[in-house]
Structures are given as C-alpha cells and as structure tokens.
Amino acid sequence: MTTPSPSPSPSGAAEVGGGAAQAGASGAAAGDSGAAPQEVTITLDGREVAARPGELLIAAAERAGVYIPRFCYHPRMRQVGMCRMCLVEVKGPRGFSLQPACFQPVANGMEVRTESPAVKKAQDGVLEFLLVNHPLDCPVCDKGGECPLQDQTLTFGPGETRFVEEKRHWSKPIPVSSLVELDRERCIQCDRCTRFAKEVAGDPFITFQGRGDHTEVNTFPDRPFASYFSGNTVQICPVGALTASAYRFKARPWDLEQVESTCTTCALGCRMVVQSSSGEVVRHLGVDDEAVNHSWLCDKGRFAFEASTAPSRRTHPLLRSDARLRPVSWQVALSEVAGRLRAVLATDGPGAVGVLGGARLTNEDAYAWAKLAKAVIGTDSVDAQLDDGLPAELVAGLPPATIADACAAKVLLFLGPDPREELPVLFLRLRGAVRDHGLDLVELSPVDTSLTDLARASLRYRPGQLVDLVRQLLGSLPPANPAVAAARDRLVAGGGEGVVVALGRSSIAESEEQTVAAAGLLRRMLPGATFLPLLRRGNVRGALDAGLAPGLLPGRQRLADGGAFATAWGGLPGAPGRGARALLEAAATGQVRALFLLGADPLSDFPDRSLARRALEAVELVVSVEAHPNASSEHVDVVLPAAAPSERAGTTTNCEGRLSPVGQKVVAPGLAWPDWAIAVELAAALGADLGFASPADIVAERARLAPLFAGVTSAVLAGTVGRMGALLPLRGRGPDGELGEWPAGATGGLERLDPMAVPGIASVESQGAPSEAGVVRAAGPVVAAPVGGRMAAGDDGPAALLSWEPPEALPATPPVDAYSLRLVAARRCYDGGTAVQASPSLAALAASPALRAHPSELERLGVASGTKVAVRAAPGRLELVLEADAGVPKGVAVLGAVPPAADAPGASALVRAGDPVTEIRLETLEAG
C-alpha cells in the first residue's frame, strides 16, 4: 500500500471511486443517520449550483453541465493535480487564484470562475505547453479523431503554435508488453497509466523515468509490463502514446461502429462496447459500470475478440466420414443428427441422450436448448457445468450478494479460486475496496493467491480439510491458531449480519463436497450472511437460470415443480437426470449413447481427463455445437458451427445474477448460426416446433412462463434495463415505467463517468450505431434502490424461487498420507482455454505447465527447481517440470488445470472424478 500524499480531504481516495458510488453510499446512509449535510451550494460562473459535500470541484461542475478540461484527472483513480489543465479561479481570503479543480473539494459558498480571462489564458497556456513537445502526427496516429488532446485543444486551446524549436525525440514505438506499445514522443506525462498500474492493478511495472521535459514512461530494464490489466492503460491514455498491438493501424475512429455489450470471457460480466470496422471487430473498450467493472477490463476480455476471426474458426457444418470431419450443408448435418438421435431414442429412450455445456450461449440460446432437450428430446441429463462448479440449486438458492455487497461487506470471507486468474476484474474491485476503505477480507485458500497480500487474514487449509477450517471459524472446533480465532470473532459477531461469502471451487482436484458442506455450515451458522457465487466460464449463471442443469427448469424452478412449463412445453422428463460426472460415467459404460456438446470441451475442462476420454470414445453420437475446434474435436461426429460473441444479440447473466445485454456488431462467418437457431432447426428436423422465430419470441415465452423473468420483456430489454443491466427478479419501477433495479442517478439517460475513459465515443456516435457509452448526461433524481443494494425478495417480488437446503451430514475428512502431496488445480488467466488459444495476442502468454511445490519438498526429493520429475496419481503417471514456490505450503502441490498445448499433461490427467482429494507422489527420474 502506498502512503497517500497529503490531500485536503482525507476521503480523497474514496471520492475518486466515483460520484455514483458516493451517491449510493450517502443515499443508503440517509435513512439511518441524516447527520451529514446532503448538499452544499457553490457559485459557478455566477450561477448557484448544488454539489455533494466533499465532492471534487471538477466533478461537481461536470454534473452542473460545466466541463472543465482535464488530462490527468480520472474519477476511478486518486487525483494528482499535475497536468494543470483544470486550473480555474477559486476565491480565497486573498481574492481569486488559479487552483486545480481536480484537487479542490467543494465547500459551501465557494466561488468559482471557469471562463474568466485568467482561466482562459492558463488553459491556453497549458495546452500550448503540452503541444510543445508533442509530435502532432495526428494523421498517422491511432488516437486521431478520438483524442482528448486533439479535442480539448480545439475547444480550449490556441489556434496556432508559437513553438519553432526542435522537439524532443525518442525512438518509437517501444513495446512495454507484448500487448501494448508506447510512443514516448506523444506522451504528455499525465500519470494515468502509471497510476493505474500502481494503484489499481498493483502491477507497478511502468513508471516515470528521467526528469523535466525528458521525463518518460518506461518499464524497468528486462522487466515488461506484465499485467493482466495492461490494456486499460491504452484506454485511459489521453493521447496516442499507448496503443494496443491488436488495434494499431486497424481502423480510424470515425469509421468505427459500436454496440454496447457485456464481456462473457469469465462470469463477472464486465460492461463494454464492441467496436467494428469494415464488418470486423477491432476493439473492446470498458464501459464505466458502477455495479460491475468500474470501466476496467482484463486483457483477456479486451483482446479475446481476435478468436472470432481465427483461421481455425468453425464456419461450416462438418460431418465425420472416413475418420475425417468434412464440410456438409446444414440440411445434411441436421438430418444426420436427427436420424441418429431418433434411433437412439427409439431403442434406449431419452435417458440415453445427454447435453453438456452452455456457458458460451446467450440466455436466450440457453433457453432454446433447454426446451429442446427437456421438452423435445425429453432428457433431463443436461449440465452447463463440467463438474468444476457448484450445484445449481446451491448457486440459485443461497441468499445472494452482489459484487458491491462483497466490496462493502463487514467481513468478506473469500473461499474460492484466485480471482486475478479466474475473475480478473473482481480482483480489481476487491483490491480497490481494501485500498479505499480497508475491506476486512478473510481468505481461505490452500495456497497463496493474489488476495493473500490484501487480506487481513489469509488462512491455509490442506485440500480436503476446508470443512475443518470453517468449523473452527464458526466456533464448533477449537481454533488452530490465533489468526483463526481473531477471524472467527469478527465473523460470527451479530449472526454474520453484513458478512459476505464469496464462494467457489479453489481447486478441481478436490470434489465439490467440501465446498458444498462449507457453504452449508456457513448458511446455517451465519443466518445473516449473503453469498456471491464464483463460477467458471462466461454465462454459466445464465445457463443455469435457463434450466441447463439437471432437475431444473428455466427461472430457478425445480423440474418437480414444473409449473407453467409442464403444460406449455407439452411434457417434461419424469425424473431428474444426470449431472456432468454421472453423464460421462454413464456414457463410458454405454448407458448414454448420444451426447451434445454446447461449446464444451470435456477433454480439457472436465476434471478427470481419463473418464472424459472413455466417455467420448464410447458414445456413438457426439454432436458439438461450437465456434472453435478443441481437444475433444477428434471424438466429435457432427460439428454444428455456432455464432461467437458480437455475432449475435441477446442477454447474459453474470455471477451475481445480473442480466445485461450482449450486442451484435458483426455477422457470423460462413454458415455459422446463433445457437438458438440451431436448436430450432434441430427441433424441426426432429419434427417439433420450438415456437421461436427470433430471440424476441424466446424472451416473450420466458417472461410468461418463468417467474424469475417476469417483466423481462423485449420492450424492457430495449430500454434502460437492457442497456444498464439489472438484477433478477426485477423490482421497482424506472422512469419509463419498466420494472427494474435502478442505478443511482440514472433516469432516462445513462450517466457514465469520465468520457475520456471511453475515448472517441462522441465522434463515433454521430456516424456509428447509437450508443450512449461515455456520454455524460445531466442526471436527474434517483428513482429507486441504489445500485448494489441487496436483492432480497421484495414484497412485490415473485415468490417461490428456489431455496437450497444444506446437507446435514458433513463429509469425512480424508486422512493425510505423509508420503503424498495434495494437488491443487485451478485455471490460469492465460492457459489452454479456447478463447486464449485462438487469439494470437494472448496465445503466446499462456505459460507452460509446471508443478509447483514448497522448496522443502524439492529438498526432500533432492532436485533443483526446474527439474523434471515423475508424478504418480490414481489415474496414472506423468512427467512434469517441478518448480519451487514458497507460496505453496508443505504437503501441497499446484498444477494448472488446462495446459496450453492440447496434448501436454494437465491436472485433469491426475484427477479421478469423485475422489475427495487428489494425492500425488513425486519421484525423481532415473539419471541418464
């Protein structure tokens, strides 16, 4: 943690967190205390204007419609006041003087001039100074047309330069990482990128070097800007100094078209705009969403669009003949699938058919596939998760918490995978909460993670012993050490009221039973606690909500409580079907004969590679609905090419249960179809009519049949809910009368922070698709609950949603084998995942798999770090490079779950499905 410079207001950092956050917090507090003044009045250019106490002048003026030019100011970062662009005149005891508006908290009665001759001259002067050493190579600069330096020079600056001297020169551009290039000649030293790297991302690998007008941003020698968040520096750079390798010279801003969308690379659901040029997606930009991503994206979410145009992209239906997949027409492919499926159904019934996957789909796609599977085919053996998540009933049935709840928790108990690896922007949110208001974070993890340095307590457990640790934390077992006791006291106070549990699987080398049992204990013993599920893969929450889980129907309904679906769908499966593991086990023994893979790659993603392989080899018909080939493709009989993100419109649901839009900007290549259309056509080939001619039909049926989706009509999705996202079920009414959960300050128009965080939107807007990202509108009164409020069922909310009954019995604690290490296997941000591997910018960043263990384990073996060793586990033997890592406790070893190379050994080669833990033994290889 850095020591903040003395700031006139001790809450300076919190203010930087954004005006909307302030409004939400003060709005919530208003009912309780009402002590602090709600409003102050300042005189702005002779006009009386209301402002929030402690708010920065630059933000207060902006809300009052006065835009004060700026470069270094960014509302999501601590202000530094160094570019001097926002100088305005503020009246003090000795009359008016020039003060930086970004560093001036408003005070009642403050008098401010923003257009006086002195201000104009200062602004002219600063802009002229900024251009002194700027190369003015706008015609060849990617930023030209969306450049704050260009725009503000035109608006506020002098018309001509008086500088006739030689400008400063640097070699250009230099790569600061493999994704970002830096042109130091264009840099105006605003400290945005360097501040982001240090303050927001915690990756301080770029910094100012040199002095005066030879100050440069650069990396340390031989140390690249290796950050999962480096692309954000490109987005917030107010000039063309930082450019993304993936975008350089690809497009001009005025040629870009754009649509607002939601990133589905992981389950966090960051809001973004997708921009295209000449029918090709060229850029993702983060949109400032108060609830989710605060304008940031991770580099995977930012650059993985490259996968859509990868040469390996599926563009035609493929049919295996003579052991090879060959292109065929849709008609041939569909009738082949329908014919073989009919044969299976005729002899073995619907129980012999299974559907795996669906997290890649939109909510509407998932609904159509759920209907196809459960109503047309008649099987309930459908699972969007690959035994690497949590039971769907638990996800839907625990009292929910939002990301904002987690950040504002009294205690956040984090029990899941390393968020920087699996949900990167969640890591930024949690890091910000710790930095800005000292979030009390208690981490339970088998190994050190990115949260370890941020947590007030980071408690270690050996795989298989999570329940023991949770019982210590809940007071039903004596605490193993004082840190546990201290955390326990904070956690159990007040019945867990204000406690948020972030719940996920920290390792897929462990069965889910420990996590489920831990969740059950926490639910029972801390009745006030709420839960944020941390699930793997993009729209997994939406797929579960659409019924792509055994025993469930769309809208978190139990199959047994069929409700309106039983009649409307014309029959439902009689009994709950198999989940992913049971499905693959049944497939391996011939009980399941046809398997649909909805973007699923069991060989890579299922924790037990051996079982997945046996299942895929045994199944007669494997149909893969996919956008890209993957490791399982060699077992696939029919490939149905599907549309990728940005090629179809719809909605997605993030891990907190927030519904938000995914936009279509380009057309799917070749003959690829949206997944819902594939479901409709396949149903037709089977002689059934799903009743959908468009996603709108799906939306209408879903709103009618599934109580969770009550009110989620096409009209609502076209309105503010669709653009802003909303937690389900909808409650409260918005300005247009729609149901919804309304962000503070938003009425008819969007309020977005800092247009410079989304460069070029203003200029694109006039030519591109209508989008309001980045447009700052005067905000009206707050309509309903502030964003981040709890979504407990309101009085008018639909009842009878799913509840989860925790299991009574606790799993046995597996005995420790002193000769073995317990394996921890988790995803890395850059690994063998399909999107990463199909994106040229990212594929090279995936690290080769190495087994990591405590240095003492290497000493015991007598090998040096980097040595190849033999690893024995129940399913077999592997040879892996062993590396020493002091962040891994003794008795534990860590291996990436999905290796970058398809045939390289990953953790799933060592895991036996259903085993509570994975024990491995290390042996040295024979010399020579």
Residues that bind another protein (CB under 8 A): 3-8, 80-85, 87, 97-98, 100, 103, 118, 121-122, 124-126, 128-130, 132-133, 162-163, 165-166, 168, 188-189, 207-208, 210-215
Q: Collect all residues with Cβ–Cβ distance below 8 Å to 845 and sequence separation of at least 6.
A: 178, 830, 836
Nearer to another protein, 47 or 121 (CB): 121
Which residues lie across from 203 on neighbouring strands?
none
Beta strands of 290-376 (E only): which ranges?
318-321, 324-327, 353-357
Minimum distance from residue 150 beta carbon to another protein (Å): 16
Closest CA to 73 of 82, 64, 65: 82
Q: Report which of 592, 588, 624 is spatially closest to residue 357, judged by C-alpha positions.
A: 624
State the DSSP code for 140. G
**What is the rounded end-to-end Cα distance, in angstroms, of the chain?**
49
Q: How far is the CB of 162 from another protein (least distance, A)?
A: 6
Minimum distance from CB of 133 to another protein (Å)? 6
* Nearest-approach distance from CB 100 to another protein, in angstroms: 7
By beta-carbon proximity to another protein, the closer residue of 75 and 786 is 75
Cα–Cα dist 280/665, whole Å: 8
Q: Which of 96, 654, 670, 920 is nearest to 662 (CA)?
A: 654
Q: Based on the number of CB atoms within 10 Å of its own CB, is 774 exposed (0-12), middle (13-18) or buried (19 or more)?
A: buried
Distance (Å, whole) CA 267 – CA 653: 8
Best CA proximity match to 573, nearest among 828, 306, 375, 796: 375
Q: Least distance (Å) from another protein to the CB of residue 143? A: 18
d(CA 285, CA 528): 38
Q: Please, which residue, 166 or 795, has the CB nearer to another protein?
A: 166
Distances in whole angstroms, Cα of residue 282 to Cα of each of 228, 253, 278, 306, 637: 19, 11, 9, 8, 33
Give the Cβ contact number of residue 796 at 10 Å: 11
Torsion angle of C-alpha atoms 746, 748, 751, 752, degrees rounded to 10: 130
Q: 207 vs 865, which CB is nearer to another protein?
A: 207
Whole-angstrom Cα distance, residue 500 to residue 408? 9
| Closer Cβ to another protein, 128 or 697, answer by number | 128
Task: Give the residue with the Cβ less far from another protein, 194 or 275.
Answer: 194
8 A C-beta contact, residue 362 and residue 673: no
The residues pairing with 326 across neighbouring beta strands, listed in sequence order, are 319
Residue among 211 and 324 whose Cβ is closer to another protein:
211
Other Cβ atoms less than 10 A from the Cβ of 165: the count is 7
Alpha-carbon distance values, 599 to 110, 415, 466, 490, 723 (Å): 59, 28, 32, 43, 26
- Partnered with residue 209 across adjacent β-strands are 216
CB of 253 to another protein, least distance (A): 25
Nearest to 167, CA basis, from 185, 184, 150, 154? 185
Instruction: Give min distance, CB of 295 to another protein, in A.
Output: 24
* Shortest separation between residue 430's beta carbon and another protein, angstroms: 24
Minimum CB separation of residue 704 from another protein in Å reads 59
Nearest CB to another protein, comparing residues 100 and 599: 100
Q: Closer to another protein by CB, 126 or 182: give it.
A: 126
Nearest-approach distance from CB 894 to another protein, in angstroms: 33
Minimal distance, residue 752 CB to another protein, in Å: 27
CB of 191 to another protein, least distance (A): 8
Question: Rounded to the nearest whole angstrom, what is the least distance from the CB of residue 17 to another protein in the complex?
Answer: 19
Q: Which is nearer to another protein, 5 or 321 (CB)?
A: 5
Around 768, how many Cα atoms within 13 Å sit in the side-chain half-sphere?
26
Q: Which is nearer to another protein, 168 or 490 (CB)?
A: 168
Helix (H) or strand (E) holding 485: helix 482-492
Give the nearer residue to another protein in terms of CB position, either 126 or 821.
126
- Of 84 and 302, nearer to another protein (C-beta) is 84
The per-residue DSSP string of 16-44 comes to HT-HHHHHHHHHHHHTTT--S-S-EEEEE
Q: CB nearer to another protein: give 103 or 229.
A: 103
Instruction: Check if the beta carbon of residue 44 is closer than 8 Å to that of residue 114.
Output: yes
DSSP state of 194: H
Q: Which among 776, 774, 777 has a CA at the least distance from the CA of 757?
A: 774
Tell the smallest beta-carbon distance from residue 756 to another protein (Å).
16
CB-wise, 82 or 477, nearer to another protein?
82
Least distance between another protein and beta carbon 81 (Å): 5
- Nearest approach, Cβ of residue 56 and another protein (Å): 13
Is the omega angle on the peptide bond into residue 173 within 30 degrees of 0, that is, cis?
A: yes
Q: Is 524 exposed, middle or buried (0-12, 13-18, 19+ CB in 10 A)?
A: exposed
Instruction: Give the residue with the Cβ less far from another protein, 3 or 33.
Output: 3
Of the pair 57, 352, the CB lying nearest another protein is at 57
Q: Crossing angle for the helix pair 363-371 and 675-685, nearest 10 degrees?
A: 20
Q: How far is the CB of 149 from another protein (least distance, A)?
A: 11
| Amino acid found at 158 | P
Which two tokens mark 3? 């020591």
